[in-house]
Chain A
Amino acid sequence: MKSREGEFLPEEAEFTITRKEGWIQFVQRQARERPPIHSTEQLAAMSGLERRRYEESRKVWHANLGPIKTPQMDGVQGALEEILDAARQDGDKVKGAAVIDALPGLGKTTTALRFAKGFHREQVELYGESTPEGHQRVPAVFLTLSGSVTVKGLNGALCRFYGLPSQRGTAEVLADRARDAVLSCRTRLIVVDDIHFLNLNRQDDRAVVNHLKYLSSSLPVTFLFVGVGIEARGLLSEGLGLTSEESARAQLARRWTVLSLARFEIDTNGGRMTWRRLLLGAEQLLLLNGKYPGMLADDLSAYLFARSSGHFASLMTILQRGCRRAILSGDERLTRELLDQVRNDAAAEETRLELQSAFDQRLRTTRVISRHRSA
């Protein structure tokens, strides 16, 4: 809990990362200070207000669990670094773009944000907060597409990110303004989230794809697109069709490198090991005085896999909601009975029964099988 001169301050950061000010706050934000774990006796000894404030800070902590690094994220991160390093070409060369294409709830945006944040910090540390001309250095930009994006809207979003006027002007004028900002602020990476909103059956969206192509050609910037089913939606083939001849004409497929985040699996020993490490990591982060070693990684491993179907976001959701219930109940620990009362996201609930029955019938397991035993 942070307090200045006795003042109780809310912990959650109120900013939007689609604006420069919010983005820079996000980039510069230090890791959240972990509140201590108090025993039941200590909690009972607290005054009313003190206890409420402590519970408030625990709520915020559990709502922002992390950072938890997964091997999948590390893999994508490494690939992104490679792509960006290779894109440090002179301005006359067209730079490639990266695409994170994965199912929902696997940490696509989190990975992209973590990568962009690291890149932003590194560039500022290396070159300073200002460019030689005095402009603010903004190495990375984050945009989110809306459901009905147009070329003008996309240019406007770029302008808005930089804090430039965007209410008036044609698409070309806004593009010029955005280009000026990108060049002046030495932007090197633009993350575009929710690229799957683009529907290539719509003329406006095809124009946006072409505009993105134009921007990546005309700006010394690497684009990182994040979305669901990008390949399946034909974005890489630019909606030209599926014949090999037509696909060959699609420039994007040659310029964009697709990266994917796999969900957690328990079919292999390696996969089970990764799942266990994830749960051990998460366990350490929980602020419950009743927790014990192995609470998640041993006792709830199969249960949590069944509830989350191996999706990171679903796992985090059930843990966050479970912690709240555990605190309210006074048990301060997660159990199967308690988590049964927690509703998870719709997709996870859908596959829950099937997986749970497989675990119950010992057809599947999350336990790591040692080499000695398996031999």
Chain B
Amino acid sequence: MATKPVSIPIYLPPLFDEPIDCWLEAYAARLGVTVGDIWCYLLPTLPKQGVVSGLYARVDERALAHLAAVSRVAPEQLARTIPRYLQRKSTHFSYSASEIPPLARSRWCPHCLAERDGRWRAVWRHPLLFGCVNHGCFLLDLCKSCQKEPRRKISLRCIPSLGHCGVRGPARADSYGEICGVDLRNAHVDQMERRTVDHQHMILQLIKDADAGSHEATVRLRDLFIMVRALAGADIVADSVRLGTAIAEAMPFARPQSDPAPIREFALLDIGRRPGAFTTITSALSPAPRRIILAARDPYLSPALRLRHATVSTKPFADIDGDAERVSRRAARIPGLLWRGLTLSLVSPPHPSVDALRRLGPLALLLPGSSRPLSALCADAEGRFRSRGFHYAIAQ
């Protein structure tokens, strides 16, 4: 007779919208064991390296079935702890990814965290979620005490303290770094305006529909994500208040539900690269990018705004209509941060020269209307980056 798998008699089902890593932590806290211990019990077949970032993608059906048998939680309930949007590799940089990557860390609403006894929500890792519609406040990004992003890593060696910052300080020679331990449920939050709450409501509904398998919602979310990042830069995701503002700006361009055609991201890139391509491809575009591109061609629009509109194609180009010198002058006034964000979004994370490109990129992207050669830019970058490498990185 085969022996049944050892099950834990203590029943602790995941809460609504609780991600699997947080549920494991809650289990560990309930039993007074470390996360590493509970991991060995519940997920013995999975390696423990890269606990959070890789976990969502690594829990396959076999692991899920084992998890259900050991925890006595229904498999379908456990499956909900790994929503679709978390099953992508977490990164800030995969701008051209066909789906939206989740955040490697998690935002949070202190009020919700308090109501849920310190147990986090999965949706707080969605890059387009910036506010809590229940409490009308912006989500928080950083622990006020240690100025670090919570939940980027989970310590396997500690008995978790739910609702507290688990970020570990720098390790010392004789010990591991100390854990911050601040109660994140007491943090101060900024309230959202009514209009921003409405935007967040719409996005939440889209996230929910997309997770339920709606192709329409998936495409709309991706459109919005592309626009937000194109309009405001990659770094925008680091700050929920700024993200909320950018989304408010991008919202009017959100694709209507009646339009079934998805945005063709690469077509947009082609438009940017090859003048005249617009006329041949524009019919395949959904109204939102078409409207942006048309707006960018509006001769009465200020050059700076035209540049910003044009960034929906991911790169500003010199052949935008108008006085090249004026455009260049105007573009120079646009905050460098915006361009830096765009640069980052063009570069894949493991690129060895990413640091050099971070410095070089803003200069390169201020090229519209400029006659400055690339070699001069390389000189500005102290020779640490060769033009060939730059072309290679941009082409990725």
Contacts and interface: CB of A to CB of B under 8 A. Distances in A.
Bound pair: A and B? yes
Interface of A: 9-10, 13-15, 19-22, 25, 130, 133-136, 138, 162-165, 167-169, 173, 176-177, 180-181, 184-185
Interface string B19-42: 000000000000111100110110
Given A13-B1, A21-B6, A177-B33, A165 B40 contact: yes
Nearest to B33: A165
B1 A14 contact: yes
A162 B38 contact: no
22 contacts: A10-B1, A14-B1, A14-B3, A15-B1, A25-B4, A136-B7, A136-B9, A136-B10, A136-B11, A162-B8, A163-B8, A163-B9, A164-B10, A164-B31, A165-B31, A168-B37, A176-B32, A177-B31, A180-B10, A180-B32, A181-B9, A185-B9
A13 B2 CA distance: 9
B72 interface: yes
A21 B4 CA distance: 7
B13 interface: yes
A9 B1 contact: yes
A135 B10 CA distance: 5
Nearest to B11: A134
B279 to A, nearest CB: 64
A167 B34 CA distance: 11
Contact of A15 (B3, B10, B31, B37): B3
Interface of A (DSSP majority class)? loop
A163 B6 contact: yes
Contacts of A133: 11
A135 B9 contact: yes
B6 A19 contact: yes
B11 A130 contact: yes
Nearest to A138: B9
Interface of B: 1, 3-11, 13, 31-34, 37-38, 40-41, 72
Contact of B3 (A10, A21, A169, A177): A21
Q: Shortest 9 CB-CB distances between A and B: which pairs?
A: A134-B11, A136-B9, A163-B6, A165-B37, A165-B33, A135-B11, A185-B9, A21-B4, A177-B32
Given A136-B72, A165-B37, A20 B31 contact: no
B41 A165 contact: yes
A317 to B, nearest CB: 25
Contacts of A181: 9-10
Contacts of B72: 136
Contact of A164 (B1, B4, B8): B8
Contacts of A138: 9
Contacts of B40: 165
A184 B27 CA distance: 14
A14 to B, nearest CB: 6
A25 B4 CA distance: 9
A21 B7 contact: yes
Given A21-B3, A163-B7, A164-B10, 14 more contacts: A133-B11, A135-B11, A136-B10, A136-B11, A163-B6, A164-B31, A165-B31, A165-B40, A167-B37, A168-B33, A168-B34, A168-B37, A169-B33, A180-B10
Contacts of A20: 6-7, 9
Contacts of A169: 32-33
B229 to A, nearest CB: 43
Contacts of B13: 134
Contacts of B32: 169, 173, 176-177, 180
B12 to A, nearest CB: 8
Most chain A Cβ neighbours within 10 Å, of B9, B13, B34, B72: B9
Contacts of A134: 11, 13
Contacts of A162: 8-9
B4 to A, nearest CB: 5
A19 B72 CA distance: 17
A136 B34 CA distance: 22
A178 to B, nearest CB: 10
Nearest to A186: B9
Nearest to B32: A177
A19 B37 CA distance: 18
